[in-house]
Structure 1
Amino acid sequence: MDYSYRITKYRYLTFGGTLRSPATEWTSFSEIDQEDDDRTREYLAIEGEYISLAIYLCNSFGASSLKVQGLENSKPIENDICEGQSFTIAQVPKLIASILREEFWCRLIGDGIEFHFGYDYYMYFVSDRDASEFILNSKTKLFTQEFLSPYMID
């Protein structure tokens, strides 16, 4: 795959060009206090941004399904997800929400596209075609930059 993008909720760049969050910002679902309505709403809005952008990119690239690859499932009894399992695009929102909530980890692989998920709310979109115009037209609130996914497999 020739094109790789890092997508994140973070907007602050260090002098070295690394994206980072302020010390008070949450970086894990485990930091969301379900009793804090404002923080929960903020989390759900940001989670929705990731999901919406992923679905938009799937539709833009004509993907009809995504397959699980590299599954790391810390809760196998609770998560009925299997290596190589395919999901329709309609099923993908729940899948991505579960990955972002750290219920399991995997790459999602489609025809000419891939989604990889890093720690601290980094999502990588990898494709065989330039996606910069699609991303620009997506109107996402997430920050996107060309960046080689550390989860690429040769």
Structure 2
Amino acid sequence: MYSWRVTKFNPLHRDESGSYKIKDEWTAYSEIGSKVSEEEYLETEEKYINAVLSFMNEMNLDKLYLKDLELHSEGVVEQNASSFMLTMWLGKEVSKQEIKELIKLTLRESIWCSLSYKKQFSVHFGYDYYMYIGAAKDCPKARTKVITSGLFVEEFSLKYI
């Protein structure tokens, strides 16, 4: 199994324990207007969405399954996503378009979810704009594409796929 941590955070700025040393870095949607412009936020969000799609493409996947889901009702309402979320349930097969929306809502802290395809692929999210991807095979083209976009891809041990 292969697994990676995908972030906007340059690993050169981590201490020995792996903690990110730059304290004024933005880490949330709620920081638009104070620590990050809306334009920069949306560009970064799109990079994360495209990262997942790049890995899916290299794995020849056109769908995933909703493995875990937590709703944060205020955030769902704020993002006008109530009707969309009514169509989601654990185990549901989700299309690429639905995956894009789920990632967006997760990054905006309206929901939390993890997505997977059998024991071949998974993606889940941590706090502070961390994303974790696991795959049954190495994905060098996807990694290169994600790095070229401006995100960082680090090998990282995942507990599950």
| Class of the TM-score when normalised by the shorter of the 2 chains | 0.7 to 0.9
Q: Deviations over 1:69-99 (max 9, x none)?
A: 1211222782323211221113221111011
TM-score (norm 2): 0.81
2:136 alignment partner, one of 114, 123, 128: 128
2:99 alignment partner, one of 88, 92, 97: 92
Counterpart residue identity of residue 49, structure 1: K
1:105 alignment partner, one of 89, 99, 112: 112
- Counterpart CA distance in 2 for 1:124 and 1:99 is 13
Q: Deviations over 1:96-143 (max 9, x none)?
A: 101111111111112511101110111111011112443124423101
Cα distance, 1:137–1:101 mapped onto 2, change above 3 Å:
closer
Q: Report the equivalent of 2:154.
A: 145
Work out whether 1:66 is the aligned partner of 2:74: no
- Counterpart CA distance in 2 for 1:132 and 1:126 is 13
SS in 2 for 1:20: coil
Contact kept in structure 2, 1:10 and 1:19, CA below 8 Å: no
SS in 1 for 2:149: coil
1:66 deviates by 1.1
Contact kept in structure 2, 1:32 and 1:40, CA below 8 Å: yes
Contact kept in structure 2, 1:5 and 1:145, CA below 8 Å: yes
Counterpart residue identity of residue 135, structure 2: S
More helix by share: 2
- Counterpart CA distance in 2 for 1:21 and 1:92 is 31
Alignment root-mean-square deviation, CA: 2.2
Q: Report the equivalent of 1:41.
A: 39
Work out whether 1:54 is the aligned partner of 2:52: yes
1:58 deviates by 0.8
- Counterpart CA distance in 1 for 2:151 and 2:56 is 17
Percent of aligned pairs sharing the same letter: 30
Tell me whether 59-68 or 76-85 shows the greater mean CA deviation: 76-85
1:25 deviates by 1.9
- Counterpart CA distance in 1 for 2:70 and 2:32 is 22
